[in-house]
Amino acid sequence: MADSHKETAQAQDHLHKVSDALASGAASRVRRLIHNLRPAEIAHVLESIPKDPRIILWELVDPDDRGEVLLHVGDEVRSGLIKEMEAGELVALTENLDTDDLADLLQDLPGTVIHEVLRSMDLQNRHRLESVLSYSEDTAGGLMNVDTITVRADVSLDVVLRYLRLRGNLPDLTDSLMVVDRNDRYLGLLPLSTLLTMDPELSVAEVMVRDVEGIQAETTAVQVAKLFEDRDLISAPVIDQNGRLVGRITIDDVVDVIRDEADHSLMSMAGLNEEGDIFAPVFSSTRRRSIWLGINLMTAFLASWVIGLFEATLQQIVALAVLMPIVASMGGIAGSQTLTIVIRGLALNQIGKSNSRLLMTKELAVGALNGILWSVVVAVIAALWFQSAQVGIIIGAAIIINLAVAALAGFSIPLVLQRMGIDPALAGSVLLTTVTDVIGFMAFLGLGTVFLL
Amino acid sequence: MADSHKETAQAQDHLHKVSDALASGAASRVRRLIHNLRPAEIAHVLESIPKDPRIILWELVDPDDRGEVLLHVGDEVRSGLIKEMEAGELVALTENLDTDDLADLLQDLPGTVIHEVLRSMDLQNRHRLESVLSYSEDTAGGLMNVDTITVRADVSLDVVLRYLRLRGNLPDLTDSLMVVDRNDRYLGLLPLSTLLTMDPELSVAEVMVRDVEGIQAETTAVQVAKLFEDRDLISAPVIDQNGRLVGRITIDDVVDVIRDEADHSLMSMAGLNEEGDIFAPVFSSTRRRSIWLGINLMTAFLASWVIGLFEATLQQIVALAVLMPIVASMGGIAGSQTLTIVIRGLALNQIGKSNSRLLMTKELAVGALNGILWSVVVAVIAALWFQSAQVGIIIGAAIIINLAVAALAGFSIPLVLQRMGIDPALAGSVLLTTVTDVIGFMAFLGLGTVFLL
């Protein structure tokens, strides 16, 4: 805990110092402060300050760093900064980037700038870039880099060693060379560690790693992340449909995918966007969130309508009005636990045909047991509070019903949504609350009408 | 979408085939099926099936793979499997593991087994293991591996090259050698790519990378993950307080930290544990979740008690009972959006003293604007529904009040909890709902009592 405070303090320190310097208008001090920060750290400060100082700070970032910094900020902050820049500046900031990063960024730039950037590249780099751009951003092809070093299988390690020394440097995060045939078809990997430890007289074919398969360029980014996690990869070859090597994916790009994917469920469940800007202008935040509130309002009105059906009952037995939120709330909480487990299980690919019935049985059993347990507690308290055994029995029965329904709904809503192609993390909780509210009020007030009037 | 279906189908295919074979009791078929899977994939199948077939499947896993498989399953599934094994088997499965992984696993094993494992190791490995064990699991020291290759700064690259060839292999995920002085103090990195591309006559001191600082062994795992993300590292040196090299952290361990950390917020917000077993026995799931339901029940009773204060009002104006859930629900939804943004901002270190007041002002403004917008909508609908302008005005006012309070609470609850050392993701949503329910009912029924009776 003490440590974590210290680190938070350290990270906050950058933010604090830069904000202070910005507020006092000391441009040279700001420039000196951010000169010592890495692009990701500058991005972090930019994301943590409101729009006006953000633009002032952005103007002070070293032009050589700007491309890298833009890659590290969220989509919304990024497009805000791009809007502030002129075409010439935008072309300049693309100059120091890797092809995969450039491809990412390019999709956010205005058409004239894209044209200019492509025109200013040499033919080889232009072909490379166009190859990355031909794949969608969230596939292996969109993630990949094209700066691969390839070797042939029939040469000796000594030839490779002499070639590398002639070359003078390797692309970032190169842990292996790629072995290809004369048609560029991927054959295997030659790890740098093999080059350094094996007898130079051996041929590449004799020592190369054959059991790392190429990743198809159309594979989704999420699946690529899973492969990297499962196999502890640092980089992996990407191939086209004919088995030809088209690039390689490195782990730094995969880490971003993992982080975004995990954030996505959390933010979606509150109707938010994981790429959003925490300092988005008040009006645009209001508009986006008001849609979510509007959708939820419809479900709230539906619940009210159900209550309205029992107006006559409520008029006579006001205890029901006092107690009814308890039934709805218990159902909502229990259901959202099942819902969260299923949404995460789906994201991690843990749930499928072979085990879904078993999981449903388990969730139903948990719901029923918790229903029985808590219905007794609530029944006793309610009976004592309103001096009526009947009121106690009715609320107890309503809670058992609602918790069983909550388990069923929490389990089946995300599965149905996924089959319909709708994101379960986004729509799941609204639908669940609708079900638990409607069933909760209906069961409790319905039982009350039948047995208490 | 089509692609993602295909991949899901593929991952589900393992699960499906193995489940089928298990159900039909065909042990040799199961063994053949899992023989082709990697440890992480076997772990995934184990996590996705209920307890009884899980134990049968576990018995069929190749003993050489068991250590790796255990490392890939969640804590709860892991301890279930360990419970089923005998001491001798447990000792055997520790044999093929890296020191950092062994240290992770050892903490879950019974005392007699730990003793046995330590006794069976040679002195060097034992010292290494004890060094990792001396740090807490969620620090750099606990994450690190001790199989580092060190070199001196004053030797030539040629000497290093000959040493590596003599050695014959490098530890997994080695992208750099570590340069140390005669007292083992860390000086810099010697990347393999430098070794392969620079003139062998140069000395290590002339080409080593000096600007990668060592990570202090006490640094928390979360902070280590942040460093790796910000600096695109594959491996990094770990040093003790005297600057002496004690090990290195590799990115495969960091990816696990990132995944767990992001999962933690999602699961905690529903009162769940990210290390939990989706097929935990019904009774233990029920017990764990019932605690969460019990805590929420207290807040629901608090809300009921507030409603109870207005029994007399409700008896006369039953429309208030019908409409009151709308006020509470709108507050809960709006508040949870602010809460989620703040919880994520805290986890990503985006929120601190320098910007928290600004963020609060922004969230309050968004809450107020959405309050005004939706209060008008609700007021009109309610007025028409109950043919009473007064009812409309009162519910509108209550919604504005509750949305402003929701923004304040959603903002300040996580900050206060963090300062108290309580996990905001775990306790935040319960507290928030308590506030929005109590204030919502109080405002609406209070205004109703004053102006409608």
CATH code for the domain of B230: 3.10.580.10
Within a domain: B7 = no
Within a domain: A276 = no
- Fill in the DSSP letter of residue A270: T
- Fill in the DSSP letter of residue A202: S
Q: Residue B191: beta bridge partners?
A: B176
Residues A323, A391: Cα–Cα separation, whole Å: 9
**HEC sequence for B354-411:** HHHHHHHHHHHHHHHHHHHHHHHHHHHHHHHHHCCHHHHHHHHHHHHHHHHHHHHHHH
Q: Is A262 on the interface with B (CB under 8 A)?
A: yes
Q: Name the one residue in this structure whose structure tokens are 């029965």.
A: A397
**CATH, residue A49:** 1.25.60.10
Measured between beta carbons, the chain B residues lying within 8 angstroms of A20 are 354
Closest CA–CA distance from residue A112 to any residue of chain B (Å):
31
Nearest CA in chain A to B255: A255
Contact between B206 and B229 under an 8 Å Cβ cutoff? The reply is no
Taking residues B14-24, report their average pLDDT. Answer: 83
- Band (pLDDT 50/70/90 cuts) for residue B151 is very high
Q: Which residues contact B209 (CB under 8 A, 6 or more apart)?
A: B176, B188, B189, B190, B191, B194
Reply yes or no on whether the pLDDT at B3 is more than 50: no
Q: Is A302 on the interface with B (CB under 8 A)?
A: no
Q: Is A325 on the interface with B (CB under 8 A)?
A: yes
How large is the angle between the packed helices B353-386 and B318-347, nearest 10 degrees?
160
Q: Extract the tokens encoding B80.
A: 């279930």
Q: Is B259 on the interface with A (CB under 8 A)?
A: yes
Per the CB < 8 Å rule, is B365 touching A282? yes
* pLDDT, position B6: 46
Q: Is A402 on the interface with B (CB under 8 A)?
A: no
What phi, psi does A203 have (nearest 5°)? -90, 160
Reply yes or no on whether the pLDDT at B428 is more than 80: yes
* pLDDT, position A387: 94
Helical (H) or strand (E) element with B151: strand B150-152
**HEC sequence for B268-336:** HCCCCCCCCCCCCCHHHHHHHHHHHHHHHHHHHHHHHHHHHCCHHHHHHCHHHHHHHHHHHHHHHHHHH
**Among B251, B267, B302, residue at a domain's last position:** B251
**Among B142, B164, B199, residue at a domain's last position:** B142
String of DSSP letters for B67-94: HHHHHHS-HHHHHHHHHTS-HHHHHHHT
Helical (H) or strand (E) element with A190: strand A186-191
* Contacts of the segment A126-131: beta carbons below 8 A, 24+ positions apart: A128/A99, A129/A99, A129/A102, A129/A103, A131/A246, A131/A247
* pLDDT, position B10: 60
B349: amino acid identity, one letter: N
ipTM of the complex: 0.81
A318 and A221 share one domain: no
Q: Extract the tokens encoding B432.
A: 């928030």
* CA distance readout (Å), A43 to A54, A66, B215: 10, 10, 22
String of DSSP letters for A86-144: -HHHHHHHTTT--HHHHHHHHTTS-HHHHHHHHHHS-HHHHHHHHHHHTS-TTBHHHH-
**CATH, residue A403:** 1.10.357.20
* pLDDT, position B92: 85
Q: Is A291 on the interface with B (CB under 8 A)?
A: no
* pLDDT, position A382: 96
Q: Which domain holds residue B223?
A: 150-251
B154 and B135 share one domain: no
Q: Is A398 on the interface with B (CB under 8 A)?
A: no
CA atoms within 13 A on the CB side of A390: 11
Within a domain: A385 = yes
Contact between A207 and A241 under an 8 Å Cβ cutoff? The reply is no
Measured between beta carbons, the chain B residues lying within 8 angstroms of A100 are none
Name which of A271, A348, A370 is nearest B290 (Cβ-Cβ): A370
B297 and B421 share one domain: yes
Q: Extract the tokens encoding B378.
A: 């609700």
Taking residues B176-181, report their average pLDDT. Answer: 94
A180 and A65 share one domain: no
B302 and B442 share one domain: yes
Interface of B with A in 344-383 (CB under 8 A): 344-345, 348-355, 358-359, 362, 365-366, 369-370, 373-374, 377-378, 381
**What SS3 class is residue B61?**
coil
A413 and A345 share one domain: yes
How many contiguous H segments (helices) and E segments (strands) does chain A have?
A: 22, 6
Size of interface A-B (CB pairs under 8 A): 382
* CA distance readout (Å), A101 to A120, A142, A227, A266: 17, 9, 21, 26
Taking residues B415-443, report their average pLDDT. Answer: 92
Name which of B40, B350, B374 is nearest A297 (Cβ-Cβ): B374
Within a domain: B261 = no
Per the CB < 8 Å rule, is B318 touching A323? no
Which of A418-422, B110-114, B236-240 shows the lowest per-residue confidence on average (mean pLDDT)?
B110-114
User: Would you say how long chain B is, in residues?
Assistant: 453
Closest CA–CA distance from residue B241 to any residue of chain A (Å):
14
pLDDT (tens digit per residue) in B374-403: 999 999 999 999 999 999 999 999 999 999
Residues B63, B83: Cα–Cα separation, whole Å: 16
Residues A61, B398: Cα–Cα separation, whole Å: 47
Q: Strand B150-152's sheet: what is its strand order?
A: B150-152, B176-180, B186-191
Name which of B170, B220, B378 is nearest A197 (Cβ-Cβ): B170
Reply yes or no on whether the pLDDT at B408 is more than 50: yes
Residues A108, A117: Cα–Cα separation, whole Å: 13
What phi, psi does B180 have (nearest 5°)? -130, 160
Interface of B with A in 79-138 (CB under 8 A): none
Per the CB < 8 Å rule, is A329 touching B165? no
Q: Which residue, among A321, A289, A293, has the nearest Cα to A308 in the 3D structure?
A: A321
Quick one: CA torsion of B424, A14, B186, B152, rounded to 10 degrees? 130
User: Would you say how long chain A is, in residues?
Assistant: 453
Nearest CA in chain B to A168: B197
B218: amino acid identity, one letter: E
Taking residues B60-64, report their average pLDDT. Answer: 88
* pLDDT, position B439: 96
Q: What is the CA radius of gyration of chain A?
A: 29
How large is the angle between the packed helices B39-47 and B51-60, nearest 10 degrees?
160
A331 and A296 share one domain: yes
Q: Name the one residue in this structure whose structure tokens are 């205890």.
A: A319
Per the CB < 8 Å rule, is B16 touching A234? no
Q: Tell me, rounded to whole angstroms, the distance of Cα A135 from its chain centroid.
A: 20
Name which of B251, B308, B350 is nearest A48 (Cβ-Cβ): B350
Q: Extract the tokens encoding A22.
A: 């910005």
B64: amino acid identity, one letter: D
Q: Which residue, among B219, B16, B67, has the nearest Cα to A351 in the 3D structure?
A: B16
Per the CB < 8 Å rule, is A278 touching B12? no
Contact between B336 and B429 under an 8 Å Cβ cutoff? The reply is yes
B293 and B393 share one domain: yes
B170 and B238 share one domain: yes
Name which of B1, B290, B350 is nearest A47 (Cβ-Cβ): B350
* pLDDT, position B12: 66
Within a domain: A273 = no
Within a domain: B226 = yes
Reply yes or no on whether the pLDDT at B225 is more than 80: yes
B430: amino acid identity, one letter: V
Q: Which residue, among A41, A165, A172, has the nearest Cα to A98 in the 3D structure?
A: A172
Cα angle vertex A259, ends A256, A264, to 5°?
120
What's the start-to-end Cα distance of chain B, in Å? 57
Give how many domains chain B has, as a whole number: 3
Within a domain: B121 = yes
Closest CA–CA distance from residue A181 to any residue of chain B (Å):
23
Contact between B405 and B433 under an 8 Å Cβ cutoff? The reply is no
Residues B103, B113: Cα–Cα separation, whole Å: 13
Taking residues B309-317, report their average pLDDT. Answer: 93
A313 and A421 share one domain: yes
Q: Residue A215: beta bridge partners?
A: A238
Closest CA–CA distance from residue B128 to any residue of chain A (Å):
23
Mean pLDDT per 10-residue interval, chain A, length 453 residues:
46 78 84 86 88 89 89 87 86 80 81 82 79 86 88 95 91 90 93 94 95 92 87 88 92 84 82 80 85 91 95 92 94 93 84 84 91 95 95 96 95 93 87 94 96 87
pLDDT (tens digit per residue) in B242-267: 999 999 998 888 888 888 877 888 88
Q: Which residues contact B86 (CB under 8 A, 6 or more apart)?
A: none
**Among B232, B251, B270, residue at a domain's last position:** B251
Q: Extract the tokens encoding B66.
A: 């068991």
* Contacts of the segment A353-357: beta carbons below 8 A, 24+ positions apart: A353/B12, A353/B16, A354/B12, A354/B15, A354/B16, A354/B19, A354/B20, A355/B15, A355/B19, A355/B48, A355/B49, A355/B50, A355/B279, A356/A415
Measured between beta carbons, the chain B residues lying within 8 angstroms of A170 are 193, 196-197
Closest CA–CA distance from residue B27 to any residue of chain A (Å):
18
Residues B131, B102: Cα–Cα separation, whole Å: 12
Closest CA–CA distance from residue B57 to any residue of chain A (Å):
15
A134 and A160 share one domain: no
Name which of A195, A197, A259 is nearest B258 (Cβ-Cβ): A259
Within a domain: A257 = no
The greatest distance separating any two alpha carbons of chain B, rounded to the nearest whole angstrom, comes to 96
Average pLDDT of chain B is 88
Measured between beta carbons, the chain A residues lying within 8 angstroms of B8 are 349, 352
What percentage of chain B carries pLDDT values higher than 70? Answer: 97
B436 and B333 share one domain: yes
